[in-house]
């Protein structure tokens, strides 16, 4: 193995390297969330607009490449999260409670990242099962049979427990995203008297807006069915 390859391997095994990769993959996932939310807003325009949008996306062969990339990024983020949690526990076997009480800059959001992350994982599994791999109905649009994904979404949110679960999951996601954004900059050693607090506020604003957008759509879906 060449010296360059050896240094790359060494970088991936250090905890700083792992944290930086987690930060970058987290940033990429946040970018996906924003595009997903903007696309989902088409549901407010109506069934035709939403179904046509979903059909255009899923009928493009490039979607498989995008999905594989997204899965790889997500699994890397997840794998490193577990790995770093286990390593941290081994290195410092004190409880999170002690860590919060003793300060050292820890916040509720920072110590609970693994738990809020697990909720997002559970959410994602249930989300994909119900929507992507959920019921398949067809409608005809411009002479083409397209999947009536609008109906799948509206039917799902008709159940107040399911709409409520989405709202809860999105509140949890807001904590995860809010902390994740600022720690991205910390992982790269960025610490600035003026800009760090600004980055923190920006991350929290982004997290609240994106999570509120998804939660709002869930409530809107529920209200559609109860009208
Ligand atoms: C109100 C909230 C949401 C709605 C209405 C919604 C809607 C949808 C729909 C309809 C699909 C299936 C698209 C298709 O196969 O035609 C989908 C896929 C997906 N959603 Fe969501 N979504 C929501 C929130 C979220 C959140 C918060 C996340 C991430 C934490 C997420 C991650 C995904 C992923 C990863 C896929 C699969 C994408 C692909 O394979 O191309 N969604 N969503």
Q: What is the pLDDT of residues 101-127, one digit of tens each?
A: 444 456 676 789 999 999 999 999 999
- Residue 105 has what pLDDT? 56
What spacing in Å lies between the alpha carbon of 106 and ligand 1's midpoint?
32
- Using a 6 Å cutoff on CB, does residue 67 contact ligand 1? yes
Q: Is 51 in the pocket of ligand 1 (CB under 6 A)?
A: no
Token output for 122:
């559970």
Kindly state if the Cβ of 41 falls inside 6 Å of ligand 1.
no
Residues 144 and 50: their CA atoms lie apart, in Å, by 15
- Asked whether the CA dihedral 33, 39, 42, 47 is positive or negative, the reply is negative
What per-residue confidence (pLDDT) applies to 1? Answer: 67
pTM (two decimals): 0.92
Domains of the chain, by residue range, sit at 18-226
Query: Does the pLDDT at position 100 exceed 50?
Result: no
- Is 34 close to ligand 1, i.e. is its CB under 6 Å away? no
Q: What percent of the chain has pLDDT over 70?
A: 92
Q: Are 154 and 222 in contact (CB under 8 A)?
A: no
State the Cα–Cα distance between residues 107 and 149, nearest whole angstrom. Answer: 40
Ligand 1 in reach of 159 Cβ (< 6 A):
no
Q: How far is the CA of 140 from the centre of ligand 1 (A)?
A: 23
Best residue among 63, 131, 151, 206 to mutate for probing ligand 1's pocket (most ligand atoms within 8 Å of CB) is 131
User: Which H or E run contains 5?
Assistant: helix 3-13
The CATH number that domain 18-226 falls under is: 1.20.1300
pLDDT recorded at residue 225: 81
**Spatial distance between the Cα atoms of 58 and 149, rounded to a whole number of angstroms:** 11
């Amino acid at each position: 193995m060449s010296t360059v390859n050896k240094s790359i391997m060494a970088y991936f095994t250090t905890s700083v390297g792992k944290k930086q990769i987690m930060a970058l993959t987290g940033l990429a996932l946040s970018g996906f969330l924003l595009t997903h939310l903007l696309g989902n807003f088409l549901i407010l325009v109506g069934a035709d607009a939403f179904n046509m949008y979903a059909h255009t996306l899923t009928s493009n062969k490039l979607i498989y490449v995008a999905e594989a990339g997204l899965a790889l990024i997500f699994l890397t983020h997840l794998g490193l999260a577990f790995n770093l949690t286990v390593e941290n526990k081994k290195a410092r076997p004190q409880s999170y409670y002690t860590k919060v009480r003793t300060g050292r800059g820890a916040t509720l959001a920072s110590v609970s990242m693994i738990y809020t992350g697990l909720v997002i994982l559970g959410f994602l599994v249930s989300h994909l099962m119900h929507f992507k791999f959920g019921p398949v109905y067809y409608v005809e649009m411009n002479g083409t049979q397209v999947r009536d994904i609008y109906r799948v979404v509206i039917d799902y949110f008709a159940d107040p427990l399911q709409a409520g679960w989405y709202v809860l999951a999105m509140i949890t996601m807001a904590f995860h995203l809010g902390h994740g954004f600022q720690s991205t900059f910390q992982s790269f050693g960025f610490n600035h008297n003026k800009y760090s607090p600004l980055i923190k506020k920006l991350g929290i604003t982004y997290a609240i807006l994106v999570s509120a957008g998804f939660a709002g759509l869930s409530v809107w879906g529920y209200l559609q069915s109860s009208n």
